[in-house]
Structure 1
């Protein structure tokens, strides 16, 4: 496994995006356990994209404008829903001191859905992974290995984001004005991410 792959993958994973934002918000609002759970859910959300890249489905998605648009706009709608829910105190920054099963299911569902409804991830992996796979026999096994490493890095980095946010939880939640400002900031960021996704093309 090349150093170039590890460095590039780390930069990609560590760059804040939708999943990182959701994990941070969950850690702030619900604590360490929920933050780690959000990181795990966001990592699971990358699995279908990795499978699509390995099996070649990404090529179909890239070639079909209709398929790409359907998934893209579904992602835009979900991001806007996340923005609305966060603004209304029912989203990523909805404070929950309990560890109910319903709360855990909500964290898992939202984390998976956020990454699942992003067609750019499929095309990204389709273009990214093959660069580090040598020609010849064993290419599929190599891609599976690289995918596993990428997923592990995603979970570790996102979990670190979630745990750091959870460590800051008491400092934030005891200041209602700060919570209100952060809620608006997160909602605005979700809207911005939705706008960026809407403008993206294949």
Structure 2
């Protein structure tokens, strides 16, 4: 493992994507615990993609237009569903308070699906890991497993940082319904933009 890999992983995880947006939204609407739950779930959502890349199944997914498109459009639909929930203040991103507030299980499930339904993550790991490993070496698989674990650890730390940072202002935001409504709609537009990117960029 090299400094270059760590820096690259850090830059990639700091770059806002669906997982970051979901974690920020969960933290702002429901506080630090929801943000940490979302961060953990988003990180766990990477695991299937890592396994697909390590076993070569990601190559099969990328080579199968039908399978790739099916998962991609499920991901697009889910991001649009998240956008609707953010816009209306419902679903997994509904602010806390009252008997209708979403459970942490709903937050966990929502965050998992954000990454699970993005087939580009499988292709990303398939292309990313071999850059830092000599694939012809006898221990290539073990090294890629190690790098995958490090990347997921970096992701977790960064996402928890995002969540805790957002939680610092969550009480102020949640106490002002007008501000919360605007924030929710900003997140909704972010989810729509990401759905469009997933749908249009191959």
- TM-score class normalised by the smaller sequence: over 0.9
| Aligned match of 1:161 | 162
Q: CA–CA distance in 2 between the matches of 1:93 and 1:179?
A: 11
| Structure 1 residues not aligned, in runs of 5+ | none
**8 Å contact 1:13–1:154 — kept in the other structure?**
yes
| Aligned match of 1:118 | 118
| Aligned match of 1:17 | 17
Q: Could you tell me how far 1:101 is from its partner in structure 2?
A: 11
| Structure 2 residues not aligned, in runs of 5+ | none
| Aligned match of 1:193 | 194
Q: Could you tell me how far 1:92 is from its partner in structure 2?
A: 5.3
Q: CA–CA distance in 2 between the matches of 1:13 and 1:97?
A: 31
**8 Å contact 2:89–2:181 — kept in the other structure?**
no
**8 Å contact 1:29–1:92 — kept in the other structure?**
no
| Aligned match of 2:8 | 8
**8 Å contact 1:75–1:117 — kept in the other structure?**
yes
Q: CA–CA distance in 1 between the matches of 2:93 and 2:72?
A: 25
Q: CA–CA distance in 1 between the matches of 2:7 and 2:57?
A: 26
**8 Å contact 1:71–1:118 — kept in the other structure?**
yes
Superposition map of 1:1-202 within 5 A: 1-91=1-91, 93-97=93-97, 103-134=103-134, 135-201=136-202
Number of equivalent positions? 201
**8 Å contact 2:14–2:158 — kept in the other structure?**
yes
Shift of the 170–128 alpha-carbon distance from structure 1 to 2, 3 Å rule, reads same
Q: CA–CA distance in 2 between the matches of 1:97 and 1:27?
A: 14
Normalising by structure 1, report the TM-score: 0.95
Normalising by structure 2, report the TM-score: 0.95
- Secondary structure at 1:147 match in 2: helix
